[in-house]
């Protein structure tokens, strides 16, 4: 039961009555707790100790961790971690745990948050600032290497902005365009067949095909194309929904999946290259593969200790994003989205492969080459009447 409460919700799970935000006992996790809390309220009894007060519960539901203390806390923690290697181990181990805790706290509430996007951008800017102010004056970095790191930073931000343009939301105009295309195909088939019987058989088969492929979203009540899914965090259906990425504060779908993959690749290449430059400057006598584990004399100066700690911090982030990139590449190779993989595991219709890194649903896969061709050539099928202004938040 505890695992079910901590598990992130599936994309198309029906909404439970205890998910209503306006109810004063909404802090209760399931309907049994809700019924018991409501019975206590009717009988005039105080709520259980495990349930928060209505005022405190409302504050926790609407509280967004302030971004300014979080941004000030990151450089402070990094400087404290640079004082001693034991402090570095403790702080760098606790940081991912705190981030994961806040992720589950916001994911259970199904809320959008700027915390992770701001933390990612600020970490990127802070690491680049330390590279310019601490590593570059040491004279171990050439102008070409500096240009490469700077170009990688700029390309990462540009690809992130392109990813933020939108995942490809399912709109009513998309359904209308599909209906018109179906009617056009029906008329063409009637004209080519030239007989009433063939036209009747075609008209009977077309609605069956349309009904089989398109489905109605149980949440937003809109007809959506195959492989589309509803995102509870964004509150809309997305074409070929992969997942909702907290680090970009947006969904990853048909329209921005390629740019999302490009952002990951550019960032990882820039990060690995920047970490190697920092380690070569701090530990010139050590091999690059062992310098991150053993670098004698690095804690003798505060500046070198801070840069070494930031190299470890960047390595932890790079390792997490590298795992994400590997899973994305494997999913594309098997032509399965993260949402489809979760649903297949829940319904026990998929098979785990490669030590659980990918789930093979065997539903859309057409071979490695054709799967990548489909991914690289897919386009946004929505017909949006809105302007194409970039949503930066």
Asked whether residue 103 is domain-assigned, the answer is no
Do 129 and 154 lie in one domain? The reply is: yes
Q: How many CB atoms lie within 10 A of CB 384?
A: 14
264, 328: one domain: yes
* 57, 26 Cβ separation under 8 angstroms: yes
Residue with tokens 């809109």: 222
pLDDT of 35 over the 80 cut: no
Tell me: do 141 and 260 sit in the same domain. Answer: yes
Residue 195 CB neighbours (<10 A): 9
Instruction: Output the pTM of the full model.
Output: 0.76
| pLDDT band at 24; cut points 50, 70, 90 | very low
Same domain, 225 and 282: no
Note whether residue 9 is domain-resident. no
Residues 301 and 322 in one domain: yes
**What is the C-alpha to C-alpha distance for residues 332 and 134, in angstroms, rounded to an integer?**
40
Q: Do 286 and 310 reside in the same domain of the chain?
A: yes
Phi-psi region of 283 (alpha: psi -120 to 50; beta: other; left: phi over 0): beta
Same domain, 360 and 237: no
pLDDT classification of 339: cutoffs 50, 70, 90: very high
- Out of 245, 295, 307, 310, the active site residue is 245
Task: Check if the beta carbon of residue 167 is closer than 8 Å to that of residue 285.
Answer: no
pLDDT of 225 above 50: yes
pLDDT computed for residue 189 by the predictor:
63
pLDDT for position 114: 82
Asked if the model's pLDDT at residue 390 lies above 50, the reply is: no
Whether residue 317 sits in one domain with residue 265: yes
Cβ pair 382, 170 in contact under 8 A = yes
Residues 269, 319, single domain; the answer is yes
- Tell me which H or E stretch contains 295: none
Give yes or no: residues 350 and 294 share one domain. no
Q: Is the pLDDT of residue 284 over 60?
A: yes
Distance CA 137, CA 151 (A): 19
Phi, psi of 281 (to 5 degrees): -80, -40
**Closest CA relative to residue 307, chosen from 154, 142, 137:** 137
Average the pLDDT over 162-167 and give the result: 92
CB 114 within 8 A of CB 245: no
Residue 93 covered by a domain: no
Average pLDDT, the chain: 78
Is 27 a known active-site residue?
no
Range picked from 9-13, 57-61, 249-253 for highest mean pLDDT: 249-253
Q: Which domain holds residue 357?
A: 335-380
Q: Are residues 276 and 299 in the same domain?
A: yes
Q: Is the pLDDT score of 201 beyond 60?
A: no
pLDDT above 90 covers a percentage of the chain that reads: 45
Q: What percent of the chain has pLDDT over 70?
A: 68
What pLDDT is stored for residue 371 in this prediction? 94
At 100 the pLDDT is 82
322 belongs to a structural domain: yes
Of residues 360 and 44, the one with the higher pLDDT is: 360
More confident residue, 392 or 291: 291
Using the 3D structure, point to which of 254, 285, 317 is the last residue of a domain: 254
Residue 192's pLDDT is: 65
Does residue 288 belong to any structural domain of this protein? yes
How does residue 218 score in pLDDT terms, banded at 50, 70 and 90? confident
Q: Examine the pLDDT at 125 and tell me if it is beyond 60.
A: yes
Same domain, 158 and 269: yes
Average pLDDT on 170-175 reads: 77
pLDDT band at 65 (very low <50, low <70, confident <90, very high): low
Largest CA-CA distance found in the chain, in angstroms, rounded: 90
Indicate if the pLDDT at residue 312 is higher than 80.
Answer: yes
pLDDT tens digits for 70-100?
A: 678 889 999 999 999 999 999 999 988 888 8
Into how many domains does the chain fold? Answer: 3
Q: 328 to each of 17, 268, 334, 384, how far by Cα in Å?
A: 34, 14, 10, 27
282 pLDDT band (50/70/90 cuts)? Answer: very high
pLDDT higher at 206 or 349 = 349
Any idea which residue has 């010139």 for tokens?
284
The answer to whether residue 234 is domain-embedded is yes
């Amino acid at each position: 039961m505890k695992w079910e409460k901590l598990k992130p919700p599936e994309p198309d799970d029906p909404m439970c009555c205890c998910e209503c935000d306006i109810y004063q006992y909404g802090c209760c996790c399931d309907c049994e707790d809700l019924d018991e809390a409501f019975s206590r309220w009717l009988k005039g009894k105080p709520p259980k100790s495990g349930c928060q007060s209505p005022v405190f519960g409302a504050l926790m539901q609407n509280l967004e961790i302030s971004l300014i203390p979080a941004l000030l806390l990151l450089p402070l923690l990094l400087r404290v971690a640079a004082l001693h290697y034991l402090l570095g181990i403790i702080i760098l181990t606790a940081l991912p745990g705190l981030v994961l805790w806040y992720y589950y706290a916001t994911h259970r509430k199904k809320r959008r948050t700027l915390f992770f996007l701001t933390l990612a951008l600020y970490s990127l800017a802070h690491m680049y600032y330390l590279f310019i102010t601490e590593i570059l004056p040491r004279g171990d970095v050439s102008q070409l290497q500096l240009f490469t790191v700077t170009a990688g930073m700029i390309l990462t931000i540009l690809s992130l902005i392109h990813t933020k343009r939108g995942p490809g939301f399912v709109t009513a105009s998309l359904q209308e365009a599909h209906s018109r295309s179906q009617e056009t195909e029906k008329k063409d088939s009637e004209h080519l067949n030239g007989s009433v019987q063939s036209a009747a058989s075609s008209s009977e088969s077309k609605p069956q095909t349309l009904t089989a492929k398109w489905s109605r979203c149980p949440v937003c009540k809109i007809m959506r194309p195959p492989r589309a899914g509803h995102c509870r965090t964004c509150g809309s259906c997305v074409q070929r929904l992969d997942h909702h990425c907290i680090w970009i504060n947006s969904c990853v779908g048909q329209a921005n999946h390629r740019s999302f993959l490009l952002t990951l690749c550019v960032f990882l290449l820039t990060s690995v290259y920047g970490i190697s430059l920092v380690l070569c400057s701090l530990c010139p006598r050590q091999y690059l593969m062992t310098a991150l584990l053993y670098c004698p004399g690095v804690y003798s100066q505060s500046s070198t200790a801070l840069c070494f700690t930031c190299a470890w911090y960047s390595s932890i982030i790079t390792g997490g994003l590298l795992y994400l990139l590997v899973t994305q590449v494997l999913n594309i190779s098997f032509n399965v989205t993260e949402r489809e993989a979760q649903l297949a595991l829940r319904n026990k219709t998929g098979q785990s492969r490669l030590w659980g890194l990918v789930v093979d649903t065997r539903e859309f896969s057409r071979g490695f080459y054709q799967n990548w061709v489909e991914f690289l050539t897919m386009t946004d099928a929505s017909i949006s009447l809105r302007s194409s202004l970039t949503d930066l938040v």
